[in-house]
Amino acid sequence: MATIAVRHRVENYEAWRTAYDEHGSVRKSHGCTGDVVLRDEGDPNEVMVITQWPSLANAHAFASDPSLPEAMQKGGVAGPPRIEFYEEAAL
C-alpha cells in the first residue's frame, strides 16, 4: 500500500473543499482507496490531505494527472503544495 501526504494553504477552505470533492472521480479512477482531510488547529486554511493507494505506481499516476493542477487552481491553493509519497513498511 502507498500513501500520498499533501500539505498546502488554501485561500478559502469551503471553496477548496468543493473543488476537492469534485475531483474525487479522478482519484477513484487512479485507484484511491481512502482519504482523510485535516485542517490545522490554528489556521483552518492550512490543509493536509492523506490519500491511500494500492501501489506507488497508482499514487504517482494520480499525482501526474494533468487535471490535478487545474483542480488545485480552481480550489484556490495558495503557493506550491508539499507532496510526499510513502510506502507501507514491512515489519
6: pLDDT strictly greater than 90: yes
Cβ atoms < 10 Å from Cβ of 88: 9
Start-to-end C-alpha separation, the chain: 14
Reported as a single tens digit per residue, the pLDDT across 15-42 is 999 999 999 999 999 999 999 999 999 9
Domain span holding position 17: 2-87
Q: How many domains does the chain have?
A: 1
pLDDT of residue 73: 95
Grid cell in block for residue 55: 501501489
Q: What is the domain-level CATH number for residue 67?
A: 3.30.70.100
Residues shown for the chain? 91
91: pLDDT strictly greater than 90: no
Alpha helices in 10-91 (DSSP H): 13-22, 24-29, 56-63, 67-74
pLDDT of residue 63: 96
Reported as a single tens digit per residue, the pLDDT across 45-85 is 999 999 999 999 999 999 999 999 999 999 999 999 999 99
pLDDT of residue 90: 83
